[in-house]
Amino acid sequence: DSGVTQTPKHLITATGQRVTLRCSPRSGDLSVYWYQQSLDQGLQFLIQYYNGEERAKGNILERFSAQQFPDLHSELNLSSLELGDSALYFCASSVVAPKPTGTGIYRNTGELFFGEGSRLTVL
Amino acid sequence: DAKTTQPNSMESNEEEPVHLPCNHSTISGTDYIHWYRQLPSQGPEYVIHGLTSNVNNRMASLAIAEDRKSSTLILHRATLRDAAVYYCILKTSGNTPLVFGKGTRLSVIA
């Protein structure tokens, strides 16, 4: 168990619809990342949030949007769904650890913890 | 992010050591070498990472070439549970995303 929780685990919907995927990061992790994995594209980075702010953007379509809330959970919104959006959507959060000197300044060790994914099927 | 090159697939016998190679000839001085694996129907899982020196943890060992242009992930005794896709990824330190390639699909034969 990575400590990252994603809901729903499975979702079936029709073309043209809109869905929201939810992610709860590990306790204390400030960064959340979203990835899409389809059979032909592999794992594609979509977007990253850090402490509520967008931090990095990858191959995210304009029909998709995300946000991170004050309690650090994140949602990925997918709209005007197409057949090609059928995929596994993974959320990850990153380890944030205090510096050994105890300065209170947090550093990122680079390790990402992934949830089990949300499988979206668009019919 | 600098690119890595891995074999598409490898096969190992159970309880034998496995050496998974990765080439990263364009690695920069600030790139860390990360390894993740993805078991069937699961999310990617962190395995190990390093910068210059060899690293060991409970899951695996990471051997890094002196010029850092290649590295090898070593599973000391492969089990059936180690059958997965293994990804070698270069990543700068700090709050940046991982960029996955195609990885190496490891099959373990009983």
Q: Answer whether residue A108 shows pLDDT above 70.
A: no
Q: Do A114 and B45 touch (CB under 8 A)?
A: yes
Taking CA atoms, A57 is separated from A33, A35, B30, B68, B73, in Å, by 10, 11, 21, 28, 29
* Closest CA of chain B from A90, distance in Å: 7
pLDDT at A99 over 50: no
Q: B31: closest CA among B56, B2, B60?
A: B2
Is 90 exceeded by the pLDDT of residue A1?
no
Task: Kindly report the nearest CA distance between residue B18 and chain A, in angstroms.
Answer: 23
Query: Does the beta-carbon distance from B94 to A58 stay under 8 Å?
Result: no
- Indicate the residue of A44, A108, A114 with minimum beta-carbon distance to B43: A114
Find out whether B69 and B24 touch, Cβ atoms under 8 Å. Answer: yes
- The answer to whether B94 faces chain A, any CB pair under 8 Å, is yes
pLDDT for A38 beyond 70: yes
* Mean pLDDT, all residues of chain A: 89
pLDDT, one tens digit for every residue, chain B (110 residues): 569 999 999 999 999 999 999 999 999 988 999 999 999 989 999 999 999 999 999 999 999 999 999 999 999 999 999 999 999 999 887 778 899 999 999 999 99
Distance CA B37, CA B47 (A): 7
> Rounded to a whole number, what is the distance in Å from the CA of B17 to chain A's nearest CA?
25
Predicted local confidence at residue A109, as pLDDT: 60
A vs B: CB pairs below 8 A: 62
At residue A20, the pLDDT reads: 98
Is residue A106 predicted with pLDDT exceeding 50? no
pLDDT of A104 above 80: no
Distance CA B61, CA B50 (A): 10
CB neighbourhood size of A93 (10 A): 27
pLDDT at site B95: 75
Which chain A residue has the Cα nearest residue B85? A42
